[in-house]
Structures are given as structure tokens and as C-alpha cells.
Amino acid sequence: MKLVRYGAVGSEKPALLDDAGRLRDLSAHVTDITGGILDEGSLDRLRTLDPTTLPLVEGTPRVGACVGNIGKFLCIGLNYSDHAAETGAAIPEHPILFFKANSAIVGPNDDVVMPRGSTHTDWEIELGVVIGKTAKYVSKENALDHVAGYCIVNDVSERHFQTQLTGQWTKGKSCDTFGPTGPWLVTRDEIEDPQNLDMALEVNGQRMQTGNTATMIFSVAEIIEHLSQLFTLHPGDVISTGTPPGVGMGTKPDPVYLKEGDIMDLRIAGLGRQRQKVRRDA
């Protein structure tokens, strides 16, 4: 299934995508797409529905983040060997973890707003993993059993805030609108292998990032295993698993950063597309 949330900010409604790519409203069956309905039993009940019997959503409504009331927004840094190489960083021994503030979360096609004083805003296409079953002390062998599904995340980053304002990366990762998520939550049964997904990001039509999840240093299963040894992962938590090479910070001979009016296009095989316009905060 491809689960979607649509409508105005703060008033999103649940839907699924039918075989023709049309939105079908799920409001009669669930109140929202949140951690509370991401267990296998609840998802199986939704799978029994005939999409053609569900109300068709008319027009082209705004699409919100594909998960509502996200619990923890967890991010893994330097998790692609080719991205680590472009930044000159050593391969980490363990997954590098930072948090992104939930107030950064927006829909996949909402504007990305550069905060006041920003001069180094950058892009990062990433595979998002949505937890569907509580995970504590799990092994990599059964880690994927705790996944509800996958989505696209743009881990937008302000590099000066991230590296020069003293402290953790969170400062440059958590600006408002810096977490476009969606468009769909694709349930894990539709993704045969999360470690073989092509990824691409363009800025103003120019390809900047080309990658595949096969070059992850730590696989999705290994990330879940590692994090679950440290704290409990709950249904509705989202893990953004790192970015392939081609970020603006690593552009040669000089870094390239986003400016007002730029358009970012992102896609991951099987997970849909995102498109954001960049504007500067007033």
C-alpha cells in the first residue's frame, strides 16, 4: 500500500493511492496515518479494503508529511561510503546519530524556507524508515520486522549553522521546513530490498545527487539494531538513513548552496517524488 495524508496544514486526512494513482479517502476507516495504525494487524485490515469503494479525492490537494504525529525524527550522518569520501570524512565505526526537530517536518511539496542569516543551505535526499512495531534490543536478523514502510526525506541542512554555531549538528538540521517527508508511506511488503533503491536529486533541473542505497555503510537493519540497543523505537518514529554523494557542500571546485527561487526535485525508486521551491524567510 501507498498511504498518504492530504489537506491543509494541521488538518490532513488519511488516504491511499489506488492502482491508477488516484487518492482514495480513508477517513471512514482511520482518523489519520500515525503510529497507532502502523502495526501489521491494522495495516492488514486496510489491505482488505477495495480501493474502488473508497471516496475519490477530487482535484489536486496539498499532500502532507506521510506520517502524522511523528514521535522521534532520527537521522544518520555520513552513512554512504561515497558521500563520506566527498566530504573527506573517515568511515564511522558506528552509526552517527543526530535528531531533527519535529517542527522541521513539512509536506513533500511544501516550500523550503531559508531562515534569516542563512547562506549555506544544502540538500540531502535520504531513505526514510518508518517504525511500525516497538523495537527494543532487536537483532539485525529481525530488525525489518519492526518497519511499517519507507518514504523519501529531504534532510535540508544549513551548513554554517551545523558546523560553526558551536554544538551539535541539530542546529543546522532543525530549521522550520527542513524536513520534507513523503509523498507516500510505502508499506514494506512493496519494497523487496531497501538496500537496492536508486536515488536522484536535481536542483533547477541539474542532476546533483545520484546514488543507490546499496552503498550505505550501515544497512537499515543494522541501524535499527544499533538504535534499539540505546533506546526504544516506537511506532511512528522516523529514521532518515543518510545521503549519497552530490550535496552542495561537496561540490567541486567550490561549494554550491541553495538560493531563493531554486527548485529541488527528489525521487527514490518505488517511493515517489518530491518537489520543493526555496524561499527566504521574511
Residue 38: pLDDT band with limits 50, 70, 90: very high
pLDDT digits 0-9 by tens, 127-147: 999 999 999 999 999 999 999
**Mean of the pLDDT values across residues 241-253?**
93
pLDDT at 262: 98
Residue ranges of domains in the chain: 2-53, 73-280
Grid cell locating 83: 558521500
pLDDT above 90 for 36: yes
End-to-end Cα separation, the chain, in angstroms = 39
CATH level 3 topology of 73-280 = Fumarylacetoacetate hydrolase; domain 2 (3.90.850)
pLDDT at 203: 98
Residue 53: pLDDT band with limits 50, 70, 90: very high
pLDDT above 80 for 88: no
pLDDT at 151: 98
Interacting residues of 164 by C-beta distance below 8 A, sequence separation 6+: none
pLDDT above 90 for 16: yes
State percent of the chain over pLDDT 90: 90
pLDDT at 281: 93
Q: Where are the alpha helices (DSSP H) in 63-195?
A: 81-87, 159-164, 170-173
pLDDT digits 0-9 by tens, 195-228: 999 999 999 999 999 999 999 999 999 999 999 9
Grid cell locating 30: 482511520
pLDDT at 171: 92
Mean pLDDT for all residues in the chain: 96
pLDDT at 84: 79
Which phi and psi angles does 30 have, rounded to 5°? -145, 150
**Mean of the pLDDT values across residues 111-125?**
96
Interacting residues of 81 by C-beta distance below 8 A, sequence separation 6+: 91, 215, 217
Residue 17: pLDDT band with limits 50, 70, 90: very high
8-state DSSP, 82: H
pLDDT digits 0-9 by tens, 161-189: 888 888 788 899 999 999 999 999 999 99
pLDDT at 167: 78
Residue 83: pLDDT band with limits 50, 70, 90: confident
Rounded distance between C-alpha atoms, residue 89 and residue 95, angstroms: 14
pTM for the predicted model, two decimal places: 0.96
pLDDT at 89: 78
Q: How many CB atoms lie within 10 A of CB 117?
A: 9
